[in-house]
Amino acid sequence: MLISTLMFALMAVPPAEGGPRPEHGLHFETPVTTWDEALPLGNGILGALVWGDGAPLKISLDRTDLWDLRPVPEFHSEEYTYATMREWEKAGRIKDLLRVYDQPYERPAPTKIPAGRIELTLKGAAFQHTDLSIADATGATAFKDGTSARVWIHGIEPVGIIEIAGPAELTPVLVAPAFAGKETGPTKPSIVAGELTQLGYPAPVKSSGETWSAYEQEGWGGFRFAVYLAWKKSADKWVAAWSVASKFEGEAPLEIAKQRVENALAGDLAALRASHEAWWKQYWQQSGVSIPNAAIERQWYLDTYKFGAASRRGSPPITLQGPWTADDGKLPPWKGDYHHDLNTELSYWPCYSGNRLEEGLSYLDWLWNTREACREWTQRFFRMPGMNVPMTADLNNDQIGGWRQYTHSSTTGAWLAQHFYLHWQFSGDRAFLEERAYPYLRDCAVFIEAVTNERGPDGKRTLPLSSSPEINDNRPNAWFPSITNYDLALIRWLLGATAELARETGRADDAAHWDAVCAELPGFSYGEDGRLLVARDYPLPESHRHFSHLMAIHPLGLIDPAQGDAAAKTIRASLAELDKLGSSYWCGYSFAWLASLAARAGDGGKAETALETFATAFVLRNSFHCNGDQSGKGHSKFDYRPFTLEGNFAAAAGLQEMLLQSQSGVIHVFPAVPDSWKDAAFRTLRARGAFLVSAERKGGKTVRVEIASERGGTCRLHSPFSGKELTLALQPGERIDLTSDEGT
């Protein structure tokens, strides 16, 4: 055993080798002809998609705070209350329920909106290949006449750069989105709610000069945004810069965008490029993996790249499509909104063990800053104390409707609260615990105590309206006569975690209260073989995309193999049922989630198969998760291709679960790798307790474990050398290298 001491700041992870290699990126020898297969670039606030063959080369533009935020009138009416919804459900007034809750979502807005496109026509330049380097977040396209194009969005600054070298003649055009037109009213239910023209915006105000082009677009309610593109030519290169600014930054977005672009073009481009590359170099130093399955390893690097491009503290968190809103003249799939019954939660799974807490704070800051909107909605709709969160939400976290059983679920806030808990667990940040984690959980627990105050036939607390996403879709029987395992798991987890954090912060009386409320809940519903049911006397009836009934296993960890034989039996039986029913009605994210479930069961073979299926059948060629099976191999009956990001990030988290687990309070390295993975390694993944862990496996055995403690404390490690549990007391900044148990 070798011990050394290393002091480092919270996010200053020591440099490590083995970042992304060229083969982890994208290389296409045929042109990209559709926006959703483009090369993705982004820095959390700006996004771009690079595609086309040079006639033209297209750069689709996005900014993550571009939204149509018109309110939903029905949600401010007198009949919009929880009590009324319960009465209508009991009376079978389905048409009224659909009118108030479901049908408003079929309108074009509220919705995320795109920012337009740059088109560069390169006369006489025949396409050769296009590439995305994820090491430095750069898209490049080469042409047969020697012309080359390099496109990048700065790692920090809200500006994009285009560099073109070579003989081709160049014509740049800035294209505004097709907003202008009259709103046509509600459309038929669809993944895509219709054309952009339905939003009814006026035509953009365009302006241009010899070396620049711009437009300003007015949206709903006085919202405005602007795009500014300018360029300059030297003897050997044509260079352009663009920026997108919104009214959220100031009353003159066009001037804001113009100033950014002019500063970029007038400054030292080499220095700007150097600072861009420095950000991405530091990002890749935070963690890395090396495994013998090339498809899964590459997918992890591509997904980790997209996470860095899509989520930055200070910018809005990841929506369904993040900074890559559809560029096809249509509204984005599912309006590009925030879905809190799976999508936002899965999108942020990888930031914890992946050692990307700073990027994850984009999500937590937004949830924290929108608390007042959520409290107001909770009071307006439920008429109860505390806080719940709408399931489908706009940029302000305001309810925008859809299937009522889930959009108005009582437990959405509980699932979101888990992310505050996880940040505390993985960071060890006591200020965050005191100032954010405990207050957020407490507010959600106050609401849960109120909404479960009614008792079922067994005398236990229950939910009068309980569902399990998305079992039975939006049919009347999507509400269950007894509390579902989904709702019960979230309620039990929330109350237990709130009690835990109350004890941790010295609030013994509060902890006793939340423990007492939790004790009034029923137990989970099990089948005869020990598997988790959807609800009492209701087994999972068929293949289904959402594993909501298994929340107690993952992500909540209420049922874990560390608890003994009964828990292990439940996990095995529950996964066996998924195998039995098959994947006919799964989406790509189902396979990604299955990897984490299988990893928690210690089944590395099942986890590997799930991730390989995801990476080879449920992503487009640029690695975007496209929901349906694109392979033609029959993995799923869903073969459509709407792009959403949660499957990508859940897949990254699934591999991390195979390599490192700490949910039981004990660190396990390589807890769920297949026997065929004789050689594997990871560096600076993060365990609970703010421990950074690296490990190496050779010839089927772990040969080295390194643990660095950010904040100090007792580290419990399941020794991969002897199988014993080791207890290691580490000081802040101390690092320990283990090659055996000797000396521990």
Is 190 within a domain? yes
12-21, 321-330, 505-514, range with the lowest pLDDT:
12-21
Q: Which residue range forms the structural domain that includes residue 43?
A: 31-69+109-285
Which conformational region is residue 377 in: left (phi greater than 0), alpha (psi within -120 to 50 degrees), or beta?
A: alpha
pLDDT at 24 over 80: yes
Q: Quick one: pLDDT at residue 27?
A: 98
Is 487 within a domain? no
pLDDT at 11 over 50: no
Q: Quick one: pLDDT at residue 368?
A: 98
pLDDT at 5 over 70: no
User: Based on the domain organization, do 63 and 185 belong to the same domain?
Assistant: yes
Is 688 within a domain? yes
What CATH number does residue 207 fall under?
2.70.98.50
Which of 230, 259, 285 is a domain's end point?
A: 285
**Cα(660)–Cα(680) distance, rounded to whole angstroms?**
12
Which of 242, 262, 285 is a domain's end point?
A: 285
Is 7 within a domain? yes
Is 245 within a domain? yes
Is 549 within a domain? no
The count of other CB atoms within 10 Å of the CB of residue 144 is 12
Which of 226, 254, 285 is a domain's end point?
A: 285
Number of H helices, E strands in the chain: 19, 28
Which conformational region is residue 530 in: left (phi greater than 0), alpha (psi within -120 to 50 degrees), or beta?
A: left
pLDDT, mean of residues 663-669? 98
Task: Give the residue among 684, 683, 691, 694 at the shortest CA–CA distance from 738.
Answer: 694
pLDDT at 196 over 80: yes
User: Based on the domain organization, do 6 and 143 belong to the same domain?
Assistant: no
pLDDT, mean of residues 569-578? 98
Q: Quick one: pLDDT at residue 193?
A: 66
| Higher per-residue confidence, 2 vs 73 | 73
pLDDT at 164 over 90: yes
**Cα(219)–Cα(224) distance, rounded to whole angstroms?**
6
- Mean residue pLDDT across the chain: 95
Question: 56-112, pLDDT tens digit by residue?
Answer: 999 999 999 999 999 999 999 999 999 999 999 999 999 999 999 999 999 999 999
Residues contacting residue 640 through CB under 8 Å, at least 6 positions apart: 191, 626, 627, 628
User: Based on the domain organization, do 117 and 252 belong to the same domain?
Assistant: yes
Strands (E), 186-255: 205-209, 212-218, 224-233, 238-246
Question: 292-316, pLDDT tens digit by residue?
Answer: 999 999 999 999 999 999 999 999 9
Is 235 within a domain? yes
What CATH number does residue 697 fall under?
2.60.40.1180
User: Based on the domain organization, do 156 and 265 belong to the same domain?
Assistant: yes
User: Based on the domain organization, do 149 and 8 belong to the same domain?
Assistant: no
pLDDT at 481 over 70: yes
Percent of the chain past pLDDT 70, that is, above it, reads 96
User: Based on the domain organization, do 126 and 6 belong to the same domain?
Assistant: no
Q: Quick one: pLDDT at residue 12?
A: 31
pLDDT, mean of residues 136-164? 97
| Higher per-residue confidence, 9 vs 319 | 319
| Global pTM value | 0.96
Is 260 within a domain? yes
Determine the Cα angle at 35 with ends 30 and 36, to 5°: 90
Q: Provide the number of structural domains found in the chain.
A: 2
pLDDT at 15 over 60: no
Q: Quick one: pLDDT at residue 17?
A: 54
Q: Quick one: pLDDT at residue 187?
A: 55
The amino acid that residue 211 corresponds to is: T
Task: Give the pLDDT band of residue 168 (cuts 50, 70, 90).
Answer: confident
